[in-house]
Amino acid sequence: MTTASSPTVAETQARIEAALSLDHVEVNDDSAHHAGHQGDRAHGGAHITVTVVAPAFTGKSLVERHRMVYAAVGDLMQQQIHALSMNTHSPEEWANR
């Protein structure tokens, strides 16, 4: 599920979906909350928040999960995304939240 529409949001979601077998994904462009900040969209980078629920996260540390998401978004971090905030959960964690 994408909760905001922009090319960066769509590409971020597509890359995460291609890299991980997902139970749930939300991708939000929070750039408007950072207007005037050096990394805001007007300065070349989006502030993106993702919530990802994937069986691959089961038994993985937070750092390992984040590395998996960073690997999925790849070069978007060097071009379209200035800041990436992540909420990563295994399906069991998601069900018990």
DSSP for 22-33, written as a single string: -SEEEEEE-GGG
Q: What dihedral do alpha carbons 72, 15, 94, 57 form, nearest 10°?
A: -30
- Distinct helix (H) and strand (E) counts, the chain: 3, 3
pTM surpassing 0.85? no
At 6 the pLDDT is 79
Work out whether the CA dihedral 40, 3, 18, 49 comes out positive or negative. Answer: positive
Give the domain ranges of the chain. Answer: 7-95
Encode pLDDT of 33-71 as tens digits.
655 555 444 445 788 999 999 999 999 999 999 999 999
81-89 and 24-29 beta bridge pairing: unpaired
Pick the CATH number of 7-95 from 3.30.300.90, 2.40.50.100, 1.20.950.20, 3.10.180.10: 3.30.300.90
